[in-house]
Structure 1
Amino acid sequence: MAVMNFADRPRYLERVRNRKMAESQHAFVRGSTSLFYEWLDKHDEGLPQGPAIWICGDCHLGNLGALANLDGDVAIQIRDFDQTVIGNPAHDLVRLGLSLASAIRSSDLPGVTTARMLDNLLAGYVEARAVPSATGRSDDLKKLLKRAVRRRWHNLATERFEGSHGALPRNRRFWPLHRAERGQVLSFCHSLDMLALAPEAAQHGKASWKVLDAAFWIKGCSSLGHLRFAALLRGKHHRMALLDVKEATVATAPAAPQVPMPKNHAERVIAGAKAISPNLGDRMACGQLEGKPVFVRAISPQDMKLEINSLTGKQTQTIAHHLGAILGLSHRQQMTDAVWQSWTKDLRRSANAKADAPSWLWASVVDLLASHELAYLEHCRRFALAK
């Protein structure tokens, strides 16, 4: 790939984002968080009002996956917190329900599959007492965990940057930095305490890590257009580390009124991650780059995103129940037993208020599916005409 001019970066990133969102309705849902919250602003009163806790704010399939903690143990948890706020836990349920329903639509499954999926999602959520046993996991999640536990640095290097050991490649995913920008990124990464970021660092200490290279990282969808950098580090005995440095922006997700949260957006992201997904939150740090708040994590080889290209009817029900339990556990661990029992009782009551009426979750997801499908088709039309 020819090296892009530094000034072309914003325009290029916008094209990449538009192209990704045009790939499928499910991809569009992932990249259109603001559209979801525009709908929520008009319909929030119709949802159950749960206790104010840290929520993901953008809980979709791509934002769940395998995460390693500082001891190297792996679990499936939520893995993205750009939109995290102290808010209504029902928002996460609706967002995850919409994501699963969009995946079902993309898999050309009948409508009854969506109805049963939402029942399983809610059932898994309210029954969440602990991480599901191996026998209760879906095959997709069992395979993801098995692959994650076995992964090592060479797997990550091959997947992320073509196996290079001394520098990041320059291609469509990694862009060269402006001289001043590169200096700031290298200085920022050099100042980090690696002991708090990566399990491998505990054996060698902070001073032994050297920053080898840094690049602008073309990654994600909704974050495109904001600062994002990759940095490659080497420690003693040729230990390597890959840092993901990301700009923290204003959350679109609505926060609960009169509830104190960190005013610094990077500190807010880390606080939410610690509360919801300790495997990730406990190995993150924050700072400033180019005058903007950023947060950073060392990517572990065991960190793997949940990727599902197509679904079957039976597979959908199992995975919905399991993901509901994971989301429920992330919420429950922030509540007392009494508050959790009261909250899940409200959810059951809301779901069964009238036998001949759709549940709040079904009504919300169906309405969102319709509005997002129209917006997706219009996005594709504009994208095609702009080429």
Structure 2
Amino acid sequence: MAGQRVKHPSVEERAAAGKERRERTPVSSHTAWVPAPDRPDPVALLEEQNRTRERDLVPVRHGRMLVSPFTFYRGAAKIMATDLMDTPRAGLATQLCGDAHLDNFGVFASPERNLLFDLTDFDETLPGPFEYDVKRLSTSFTIAARNNAFTHDETRDVTLAAVRAYREAMAVFAQMRTLDIWYARLSAEQLMEALDLAVASQKGKALKKARSAAITARENVAKAHTRDSLQALSKLAERVDGKYRIVSQPPIVIPLRELGVSYGMSADELDHVIRQQFRSYRASLPDDRRHLLERFELVDIARKVVGVGSVGTRTFIALLQGRDQHDPLFLQVKEASRSVLEAHLPKSRFSQPGERVVRGQRMMQAASDIFLGWTKGSRDDRYLYWRQLRDMKGSAVVEGMQPLGMTLYADACGWTLARAHARSGDPVAIAAYLGKSDRFDRSITDFSRRYADQNERDYRSFADAVRAGRLEAITGI
């Protein structure tokens, strides 16, 4: 069977294509966004998602989204995906993260044990218009800045910084050799160096705040270095009769031995199903990784609640043991369903949603988890993907950021998103479309302000639905 023929247009042809798209869809067309007249009820969209989620965890999800418009936005990817359907598109596709809000970036260890900064969540990944990710990211900065009580000007400047960093980085990637783009990455140490330079430029009270932010950032990076399976063992496991098992901490952590009734199986039946899935997952790994994983024995498994938007999907942690009890490995097992973007964009070419997530993650990240793989669930409509639970993973504390810190974080996220898009899309065409001026930056920032206003209205509707009893919410978990 012949393979698909790949076209290789010249750099000049690629740039011309981007400029032609700019004529067809001007960068100014992203301004003045208004919701569609027939916009669906946002609460109904969340209820639709809840139908396939764990019933006892849906109120926990609602409780986490109820904290603020910022946490609501984190769980509202489906709502925004519906709104983005009718927004202007240049027709330049990339692999999308699908949920590129600022809390889905963080640090983790590369296979070479270097601490990298990158996108970290790919549950909604799918090929599509690059603008979708840019708008999701920029709006998250507008909402986060408002949540931190920034002034109007500070909020605008932070949002502009994220979009400008994306545009300027794409311009650089457009000039780079193909392999140099693929190898490009942002280390935690580079982030700290940029932060130190920014602190040195401050004076007076601003300098004091900047130094405090730098200390917090370095503490977070140092903490990430300690987050591994040994640390997880001390937090999540206990020794019983000389063997480790996962501690029961309902409703956040519920071990397999207590889950059988919930799934209509005995503990032994559930254990058999899990071990079958574990073997299937191992088969999805490259030979060398599968050989490595076979040195570990599956010891225990538990359901564990994570995040905001993911709450209610089936998410587990698995405890494995290597040479002895002091050689643990924790894996995270997350349910994968159809991307929220698939309702409006072409469906994934992968029939298995877990494979869709894994393939998309490998395409966008500078380096991916060595144990990233997928498997089918025990039912026909359930799919899973697997990865390490803790591998020097860490994230920024956005709620405590000051304008300087959030601006630097916006720079890092904008650059990182551009790098991810440049790996899968055409950086030359996208850079030509974006242009050299700040018109695209200002246009997207205008969109972000307007969408942040809509997000606040949606949040109020959501809170009203909770108060009226239409939705159940459990707070504080």
Q: Same fold (TM over 0.5)?
A: yes
Which residue of the other structure, out of 105, 113, 136, is the alignment partner of 2:146? Answer: 105
Match of 1:246 in 2: 334
Match of 1:168 in 2: 246
Find the aligned partners of 2:434 and 2:343 in 1 and give their Cα distance.
20
Structure 1: runs of 5 or more not aligned: 1-8
Question: Residues 232-275 of structure 1, C-alpha deviation per residue, up to 9 Å, x if partnerless?
Answer: 11111431111111111011125996697322211111110000
For residue 333 of structure 1, report the CA deviation from its aligned partner.
Answer: 2.4
Other structure's SS at 1:332 match: helix
1:149 maps onto 2:190 in alignment: no
Match of 2:76 in 1: 32
Asked if the contact 1:66–1:77 (Cα under 8 Å) also holds between the matched residues in 2, the reply is: yes
Cα distance, 1:187–1:177 mapped onto 2, change above 3 Å: farther
Find the aligned partners of 2:70 and 2:130 in 1 and give their Cα distance.
22
Other structure's SS at 2:409 match: helix
Find the aligned partners of 1:310 and 1:58 in 2 and give their Cα distance.
22
Which residue of the other structure, out of 184, 194, 197, is the alignment partner of 1:136? Answer: 194
Match of 1:209 in 2: 296
Match of 2:401 in 1: 311
Find the aligned partners of 1:195 and 1:150 in 2 and give their Cα distance.
29
Match of 2:434 in 1: 347
Match of 2:359 in 1: 271
Asked if the contact 1:57–1:84 (Cα under 8 Å) also holds between the matched residues in 2, the reply is: yes
Other structure's SS at 1:167 match: strand
For residue 155 of structure 1, report the CA deviation from its aligned partner.
Answer: 2.8
Find the aligned partners of 2:247 and 2:303 in 1 and give their Cα distance.
11
Cα distance, 1:350–1:254 mapped onto 2, change above 3 Å: farther
What is the aligned-residue RMSD (CA, Å)? 2.9
Find the aligned partners of 1:205 and 1:113 in 2 and give their Cα distance.
49
1:369 maps onto 2:452 in alignment: yes
1:262 maps onto 2:344 in alignment: no
Question: Residues 18-42 of structure 1, C-alpha deviation per residue, up to 9 Å, x if partnerless?
Answer: 1000011110000011111121123
Which residue of the other structure, out of 242, 246, 259, is the alignment partner of 1:177? Answer: 259
Which sits farther off after the overlay, 31-40 or 309-318?
Answer: 309-318
Query: Percent identity among equivalent residues?
Result: 20
Asked if the contact 2:165–2:415 (Cα under 8 Å) also holds between the matched residues in 1, the reply is: yes
Cα distance, 1:72–1:194 mapped onto 2, change above 3 Å: farther
Asked if the contact 1:211–1:232 (Cα under 8 Å) also holds between the matched residues in 2, the reply is: yes
For residue 131 of structure 1, report the CA deviation from its aligned partner.
Answer: 4.1
Find the aligned partners of 1:232 and 1:341 in 2 and give their Cα distance.
45
Letter in 1 for 2:120: R
Asked if the contact 1:270–1:285 (Cα under 8 Å) also holds between the matched residues in 2, the reply is: yes
Other structure's SS at 1:11 match: coil
Find the aligned partners of 2:162 and 2:435 in 1 and give their Cα distance.
12
Structure 2: runs of 5 or more not aligned: 1-52, 173-183, 199-213, 261-265, 473-477
Q: TM-score, normalised by structure 1?
A: 0.84
Give aligned pairs, total. Answer: 365
For residue 196 of structure 1, report the CA deviation from its aligned partner.
Answer: 5.1
